[in-house]
Amino acid sequence: MKYYIELDGIKREVEVSEAENLTKFTIDDEVVELDFPAQIDRNGLSFMLDHRMYRADITSDDINLSLQINNSEFQAIVKDERRKLMDKLMRQNKRQSNTVGEIKASMPGLIIKLNVTVGETVDKGSSLIVMEAMKMENEINSPINGIVDQCHVGAGQAVSKGQLLMSLKNT
């Protein structure tokens, strides 16, 4: 599994693989092998590297990760390949939506909930639609201050990439 990690402003690609009781990390093309497989429990993991034992206690939300490794604390942002792709598609949709009052699906998905109705005034950044895509719920926010002109979808409807979801008018 490949991860994209930002730690203290430095971005790294990390790939984790396990084979023949060995855990291997590839960090920006540099291979690091643990001396024995990491022992994982509900609070974190223990591992040995270069004949030295480490304990990593981990707390996290969806993206942000707090690590305490042998009494040193680190804050990181961690994304897997799916999350990175989703963020990229959402940024593309936002760039396209900032120039017009049309909200389009950045990827195929299922409309879970409409948070606004036709005629309602919305502020830039307010939640318009909740859509499930790639097994994650995503909020689609208003790119402009405006009024909901038309809603082209309903809750429970499957949508395709690029499909027009909602039209807004500038206020």
163 in the same domain as 109 = yes
Residue 142 lies in a domain: yes
Higher local confidence (pLDDT), 127 or 40: 127
Higher local confidence (pLDDT), 112 or 81: 112
In this prediction, residue 9 carries a pLDDT of: 83
Q: State the CB neighbour count (10 A cutoff) for residue 168.
A: 22
**Predicted confidence (pLDDT) at residue 42 exceeds the cutoff of 60:** yes
123 in the same domain as 65 = no
In this prediction, residue 32 carries a pLDDT of: 84
pLDDT in tens, 143-158: 888 999 999 999 999 9
In this prediction, residue 94 carries a pLDDT of: 63
pLDDT in tens, 94-141: 665 544 588 999 889 999 999 999 999 999 899 999 999 888 898 999
141 is in which domain, residue-wise? 100-170
**For residues 101 and 169, is the Cβ–Cβ distance under 8 A?**
yes
In this prediction, residue 100 carries a pLDDT of: 57
110 in the same domain as 59 = no
Distance of CA 70 to the CA centre of its chain: 28
**CATH assignment at residue 9:** 3.30.700.30
Residue 87 lies in a domain: no
